[in-house]
């Protein structure tokens, strides 16, 4: 089985000193591609370093760089210059996306107006450098959709615009994102028994737009709940998703892996080649 783990925060301190063993467990579980997630400048730099150090022929690693809405209020010119610099060298640095970017009105760690402004700035950068985005949206579906629709209507979103990571929205929000070309990523919460909405939402998404992710060390799936999450557990997400969709897990693994490769522009199977 070949799995694409599309969202792992490997630079989290909870993984310190353990990356080789974590990656080897991931390989054993079937992970064949992995995208290292980032949420601010420090994490983006560390993701680039992890990819440089640990990407291998058996488990090619890629990373995203970007600024989460939580840190929007400290986003400045230096951060913008950093993004432009690394994105201009993105093939060498194995950067496959700009993210996490978006809006988070649940925590409101930055004022909403500034979150929207920084989201727009990063959408402009993603379009300029022709990279997909990794969208973080929490309790901000309407404002996120309003901004994305505006970019879509004015031709400032790529044909393959990106993924809404850890999608937890409604069927309607999912449809609207799919209409604009987005992929939807699903994580541990779909395995939780009290998640009544997940099956209906999952069934409404076209298979060619589904991605699997862990968001580790967060969102640990069943049956590992209560422990630290790690990339190997993306297999539990895949298996639960396959059960909901009544699909053979092998088939769904192949579909979601191909989806990830298409979204992130990865051309060859398990090789170093990268568009």
Q: By rule CB under 5 A, what string of x and - marks binding of each residue 101-140 to Zn ion?
A: ----------------------------------------
Number of residues that bind Zn ion (CB under 5 A): 2
Using the structure block, give the residue that is written with the tokens 């063993």: 21
Task: For residue 19, give every residue at least 6 positions away whose Cβ sits within 8 Å of its Cβ, in sequence order, or none.
Answer: 10, 50, 53, 54
Do 98 and 65 contact (CB within 8 A), yes or no?
yes
Using the structure block, give the residue that is written with the tokens 């150090």: 53
Question: Is residue 219 near Zn ion by the rule CB under 5 A?
Answer: no
**CB-facing half-sphere around the CA of 208: CA atoms within 13 A:** 4
Of 37 and 95, the one with the shorter C-beta distance to Zn ion is 37
Of 66 and 249, the one with the shorter C-beta distance to Zn ion is 66
Work out how close the CB of 38 gets to Zn ion at its nearest, in angstroms, rounded to a whole number. Answer: 8
Q: Choose the binding region for Zn ion from 118-126, 213-221, 231-239, 253-261 (rule: CB under 5 A).
A: 213-221
Of 176 and 215, the one with the shorter C-beta distance to Zn ion is 215
Which residue from 72, 59, 63, 28 is spatially nearest to 233, judged by alpha carbons?
28
Of 185 and 249, the one with the shorter C-beta distance to Zn ion is 185
Of 40 and 215, the one with the shorter C-beta distance to Zn ion is 215
Q: Using CA atoms, how far apart are residues 5 and 188, in angstroms rounded to an integer?
A: 12
Work out how close the CB of 7 gets to Zn ion at its nearest, in angstroms, rounded to a whole number. Answer: 6
Of 37 and 101, the one with the shorter C-beta distance to Zn ion is 37
Burial annotation 63-102 (CB, 10 A radius, 16+ → b, else e)? bbbbbbbbbbeebeeebbeebeebbeebeebbbbbbbbbb
Work out how close the CB of 162 gets to Zn ion at its nearest, in angstroms, rounded to a whole number. Answer: 14
Among 22, 32, 36, 37, binds Zn ion (CB under 5 A): 37
Q: Choose the binding region for Zn ion from 144-152, 174-182, 211-219, 255-263 (rule: CB under 5 A).
A: 211-219
Work out how close the CB of 9 gets to Zn ion at its nearest, in angstroms, rounded to a whole number. Answer: 6
Question: Is residue 215 near Zn ion by the rule CB under 5 A?
Answer: yes
Of 169 and 249, the one with the shorter C-beta distance to Zn ion is 169
**What does the chain come to in residues?**
275
Sheet holding 61-65, edge to edge: 3-8, 31-36, 61-65, 95-104, 133-138, 162-164, 183-186, 210-212
Based on the number of CB atoms within 10 Å of its own CB, is 224 exposed (0-12), middle (13-18) or buried (19 or more)? middle
Question: Is residue 29 near Zn ion by the rule CB under 5 A?
Answer: no
Which stretches of the chain bind Zn ion, using CB under 5 A?
A: 37, 215
């Amino acid at each position: 089985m070949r799995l694409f783990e599309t969202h792992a925060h490997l630079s989290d301190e909870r993984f310190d000193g353990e990356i080789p063993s974590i990656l080897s467990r991931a390989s054993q579980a079937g992970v064949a591609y992995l995208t290292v997630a980032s949420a601010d400048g420090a994490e983006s730099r560390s993701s680039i370093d992890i990819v440089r150090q640990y990407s291998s022929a058996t488990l090619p690693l890629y990373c995203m760089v970007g600024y989460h809405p939580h840190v929007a209020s400290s986003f400045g010119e230096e951060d913008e210059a950093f993004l432009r610099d690394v994105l201009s060298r993105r093939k060498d640095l194995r950067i496959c996306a700009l993210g996490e970017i978006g809006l988070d009105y649940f925590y409101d760690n930055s004022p909403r107006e500034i979150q929207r402004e920084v989201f727009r700035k990063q959408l402009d950068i993603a379009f300029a450098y022709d990279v997909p985005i990794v969208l973080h949206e929490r309790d901000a579906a309407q404002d996120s959709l309003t901004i994305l629709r505006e970019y879509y209507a004015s031709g400032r979103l790529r044909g393959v615009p990106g993924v809404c990571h850890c999608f937890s929205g409604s069927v309607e929000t999912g449809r609207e994102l799919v209409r604009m070309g987005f992929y939807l990523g699903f994580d541990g919460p779909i395995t939780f028994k009290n998640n009544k909405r997940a099956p209906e939402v999952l069934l409404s998404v076209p298979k060619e737009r589904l991605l699997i992710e862990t968001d580790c060390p967060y969102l640990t799936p069943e049956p590992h709940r209560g422990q630290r999450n790690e990339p190997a557990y993306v297999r539990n997400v895949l298996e639960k998703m396959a059960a909901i969709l009544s699909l053979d897990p092998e088939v769904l693994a192949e579909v979601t892996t191909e989806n990830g490769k298409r979204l992130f522009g990865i051309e060859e199977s398990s090789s170093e080649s990268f568009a």
